[in-house]
């Protein structure tokens, strides 16, 4: 396709699909390289932003999604009852925080940090698609390693895990060497 047409073709595709679309799939549909596709996406994003449109293109990891701008939420909610994403329980959020900040992490590592069994919250996060199995740890029992997904990014409205605030630095507590290594 013509490169100049690409941004608006992307707009049409994202509009129709509703859900987040993976960049490689988008590139395939357009018959463009992934680099050309991302370039077109950036053009479109700029166009949207310069006009403060009602909708915006957001990137979640490797996925792109067309969504409303947060500032128009009151008007949208006044007329429609949009399907709200469910918020996570405290237990699930804690489990997710440990995995997000120390990924990839095993269930055992999460349980060590939280001090409770985490079977249920890990299952629930897997089911919601917020975490995924990414391999096995080379350790006794070869436990499954978990990491966050692009859907996790979408749930929290960030493009990359690095956009999460850094782990809070606690004053007065000596850092211990037996903690799981963290990569915030």
Partner 1 sequence: MGIHIRLKQFDGPLDLLLHLIGKAKIDIKDVFVSEITEQFIEVVRSAEDFDLELASEFIAMAALLVEIKSRALLPKPPKTEEEEDPEQALIARLTAYKQFKESAQNMAEFEQNALQIFGKLPEEIPLPPPTLELDGLTLEALWLALRRVAERKPKEDRQVDYRLRDIRRDCYTVESCMEVIQSRLSVGEIPFEELFCSVPGREEVVTLFIALLELLKLGKVYVTQCEALERIILHPGRRQGFGIE
107-114 and 90-102 helices, crossing angle to 10°: 120
Under rule CB under 8 A, residue 33 binds its own copies: no
Under rule CB under 8 A, residue 97 binds partner 1: yes
CB of 58 to partner 1, least distance (A): 8
Under rule CB under 8 A, residue 72 binds its own copies: yes
Q: How far is CA 136 from the centre of its chain?
A: 22
Under rule CB under 8 A, residue 16 binds its own copies: yes
Give the binding range for partner 1 (CB under 8 A) out of 2-10, 35-43, 45-53, 88-96. Answer: 88-96
CB of 16 to partner 1, least distance (A): 5
Q: How far is CA 129 from the centre of its chain?
A: 10
State which of positions 36-65 bind partner 1 (CB under 8 A).
58, 65
Q: Phi/psi of residue 22, each to 5°?
A: -70, 140
Q: Which residues, 6+ apart, have CB-to-CB distance to 30 below 8 Å?
A: 1, 6, 9, 10, 13, 37, 40
H or E stretch at 95: helix 90-102
Under rule CB under 8 A, residue 82 binds partner 1: yes
Chosen from partner 1, its own copies, none, partner binding at 39 (C-beta under 5 to 8 Å by type)? none
């Amino acid at each position: 396709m013509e490169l100049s047409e690409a941004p608006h073709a992307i707009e049409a595709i994202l509009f129709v699909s509703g859900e987040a679309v993976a960049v490689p799939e988008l590139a395939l549909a357009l018959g463009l390289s992934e680099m050309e596709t991302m370039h077109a996406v950036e053009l479109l994003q700029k166009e949207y932003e310069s006009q403060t449109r009602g909708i915006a293109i957001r990137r979640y990891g490797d996925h792109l999604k067309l969504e409303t701008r947060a500032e128009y939420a009151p008007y949208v909610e006044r007329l429609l009852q949009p399907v709200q994403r469910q918020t996570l329980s405290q237990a699930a959020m804690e489990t997710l925080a440990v995995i997000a900040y120390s990924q990839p992490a095993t269930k055992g590592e999460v349980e060590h940090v939280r001090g409770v069994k985490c079977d249920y919250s890990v299952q629930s996060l897997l089911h919601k698609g917020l975490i995924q199995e990414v391999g096995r740890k080379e350790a006794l029992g070869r436990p499954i390693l978990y990491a966050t997904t692009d859907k996790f990014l979408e749930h929290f409205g960030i493009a990359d895990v690095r956009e999460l605030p850094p782990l809070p630095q606690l004053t007065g507590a000596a850092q211990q060497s037996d903690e799981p290594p963290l990569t915030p």
